[in-house]
């Protein structure tokens, strides 16, 4: 994957320097914990320290990019200075303060963040394939977990087991800390799994995802464990699912994120549930689990074909239960296409 030239063209600068790991991975397709990618009109270079040089040379040997060993960041900055670069594009919000201070003394800085954000939001076929695989694995692991979910299991054990199953199915990692919430804990949207044990007659909320080739999936399912579901729970579940499906049907390319959010929010309002929908409808998904665009009442960004984002309406009754139903989706030919295939009707185990 070579996005260096494409990104550099958008920068209006003499050179572009990128250290943040996610942005570096986007430029080169090479995931690494340390390094700098430098691009100008003549060349692209991957600077790394001696510890990583061998791995970088191996990974990038047939690529567009040269690998150089740098002692420290100063030697990288000096190299760029030696090329007579005046205006340098850097992701300003991602620099440490000392880096910023050093760089601004040597170069006129321009912010590369907006160009990265826009470019990264529209996925290539290669990126879509990785996300599709990450979604497929997450769903497969979920199916395997359902067969094993038993009374007495703790939330933490369930979260760990789900992560194990995703890796067993081929994921390189989870894409964020798995949420497993039983009973009233489901009413906390970002509950941290604890030693609460699963009992009959409890809702179960699972929010999870995994990484494949550096790209994330994100999915939430809420189900009822043991016995007949509480009537209020089943009723609210139906409303959240309807909000989810309306959003899927009506979101289209050319719409702003806030208008997408309003589809679900307005429906929940008609059911007098909007005040319990305490977060946004969705967020972009890619190398990062949360990225541009934002589907929230403040989302001004316009949705485009090739964008990947979550649709995740949720309703939370404090101290009682919470319900969230989330798919990772893409926009294709102007319409929403879900990566997920599992049935979302209320599951009673
Ligand atoms: Mn999400």
Ligand 1 centre from 285 Cα, in Å?
8
Ligand 1 centre from 106 Cα, in Å?
40
Closest CA to 326 of 285, 272, 281: 281
pLDDT at 37 exceeding the cut of 80: yes
Ligand 1 centre from 346 Cα, in Å?
20
pLDDT at 298 exceeding the cut of 80: yes
Ligand 1 centre from 279 Cα, in Å?
10
Ligand 1 centre from 10 Cα, in Å?
29
pLDDT, position 260? 98
pLDDT at 52 exceeding the cut of 90: no
Query: 88 by DSSP, 3-state: which?
Result: strand
Lowest mean pLDDT among 55-64, 180-189, 282-291: 55-64
Ligand 1 centre from 270 Cα, in Å?
24
Fold of 125-338: Creatine Amidinohydrolase (3.90.230)
Q: Give the Cα separation of 179 and 208 in Å (integer).
A: 6
Q: Supply the angle between the helices 155-168 and 125-146 in degrees, to the nearest 10.
A: 130
pLDDT digit string, tens, across residues 184-243: 999 999 999 999 999 999 999 999 999 999 999 999 999 999 989 999 999 999 999 999
Verify cis geometry, omega within 30 degrees of 0, for the bond prior to 293. yes
Ligand 1 centre from 211 Cα, in Å?
14
Q: Give the Cα separation of 175 and 28 in Å (integer).
A: 20
Ligand 1 centre from 220 Cα, in Å?
8
**For residues 252-279, average pLDDT:** 98
pLDDT, position 13? 97
Counting every residue, how long is the chain?
349
Query: 67 by DSSP, 3-state: which?
Result: strand
Give the 3-state secondary structure of 272-316. CCHHHCCCCCEEECCCCCCEEEEECCCCCCECCCCEEEEECCEEE
Instruction: Tell me what the pLDDT averaged over the chain comes to.
Output: 96
pLDDT digit string, tens, across residues 102-131: 999 999 999 999 999 999 999 999 999 999
pLDDT at 31 exceeding the cut of 90: no
Q: What is the DSSP string of 18-31?
A: E-SHHHHHHHHS--
Ligand 1 centre from 292 Cα, in Å?
13
pLDDT, position 133? 98
Residue 309 half-sphere exposure toward CB, CA atoms < 13 A:
36
pLDDT digit string, tens, across residues 1-29: 789 999 999 999 999 999 999 999 999 98
**For residues 236-260, average pLDDT:** 98
**For residues 82-106, average pLDDT:** 96
Fold of 4-121: Creatine Amidinohydrolase; Chain A, domain 1 (3.40.350)
Contact 168/142 with Cβ under 8 angstroms? no
pLDDT at 297 exceeding the cut of 90: yes
**For residues 124-152, average pLDDT:** 98
Considering the chain, what percentage of its residues have pLDDT values greater than 90?
89
Ligand 1 centre from 217 Cα, in Å?
9
* Domain residue ranges of the chain, discontinuous segments joined by +: 4-121, 125-338
pLDDT at 296 exceeding the cut of 90: yes
Contact 13/114 with Cβ under 8 angstroms? no
pLDDT at 62 exceeding the cut of 80: no
The H or E element containing residue 244 is helix 231-250
Query: 208 by DSSP, 3-state: which?
Result: strand
Ligand 1 centre from 34 Cα, in Å?
27
Q: Pick the more confident residue, 343 or 128.
A: 128
Q: Give the Cα separation of 141 and 22 in Å (integer).
A: 26
pLDDT, position 319? 95
Considering the chain, what percentage of its residues have pLDDT values greater than 70?
100
Ligand 1 centre from 291 Cα, in Å?
10
pLDDT, position 61? 81
Ligand 1 centre from 191 Cα, in Å?
14
pLDDT, position 310? 98
Closest CA to 339 of 348, 328, 325, 331: 328
Q: Give the Cα separation of 144 and 140 in Å (integer).
A: 6
């Amino acid at each position: 994957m070579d996005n260096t030239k494409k990104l550099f063209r958008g920068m209006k600068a003499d050179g572009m320097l990128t250290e943040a790991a996610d942005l570096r991975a986007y430029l080169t397709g090479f995931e690494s914990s340390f390094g700098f990618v430098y691009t100008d009109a003549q060349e692209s270079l991957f600077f790394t320290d001696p510890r990583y040089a061998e791995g970088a040379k191996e990974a990038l040997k047939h690529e567009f990019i040269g690998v150089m060993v740098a002692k420290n960041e100063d030697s990288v900055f000096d190299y760029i200075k030696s090329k007579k670069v005046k205006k340098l594009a850097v992701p300003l919000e991602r620099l440490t303060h000392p880096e910023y201070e050093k760089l601004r003394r040597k170069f006129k800085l321009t912010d590369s963040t907006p160009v990265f954000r826009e470019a990264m939001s529209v996925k290539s076929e290669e990126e879509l394939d990785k996300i599709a695989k990450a979604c497929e694995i997450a769903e497969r692991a979920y199916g395997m977990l359902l067969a094993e979910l038993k009374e007495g299991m703790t939330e933490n054990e369930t979260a760990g087991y789900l992560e194990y199953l995703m890796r067993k199915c081929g994921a390189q990692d989870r894409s964020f800390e798995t949420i497993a919430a039983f009973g009233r804990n489901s009413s906390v949207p970002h509950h941290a799994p604890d030693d609460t044990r699963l009992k009959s007659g409890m809702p179960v909320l699972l929010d999870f995802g995994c990484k494949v080739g550096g790209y994330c999936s994100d999915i939430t399912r809420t189900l009822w464990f043991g016995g007949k579901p509480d009537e209020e729970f089943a009723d609210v579940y139906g409303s959240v699912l309807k909000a989810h499906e309306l959003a899927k049907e009506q979101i289209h390319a050319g719409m702003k994120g806030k208008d997408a959010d309003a589809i679900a929010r307005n429906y929940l309002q008609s059911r007098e549930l909007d005040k319990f929908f305490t977060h946004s409808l969705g967020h972009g998904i890619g190398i990062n689990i949360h990225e541009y665009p934002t589907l929230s009442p403040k989302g001004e960004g316009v949705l485009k074909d090739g964008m990947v984002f979550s649709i995740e309406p949720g309703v939370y009754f404090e101290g009682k239960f919470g319900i969230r139903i989330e798919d990772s989706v893409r926009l294709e030919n102007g319409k929403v296409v879900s990566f997920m295939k599992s049935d979302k009707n209320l599951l009673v185990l």
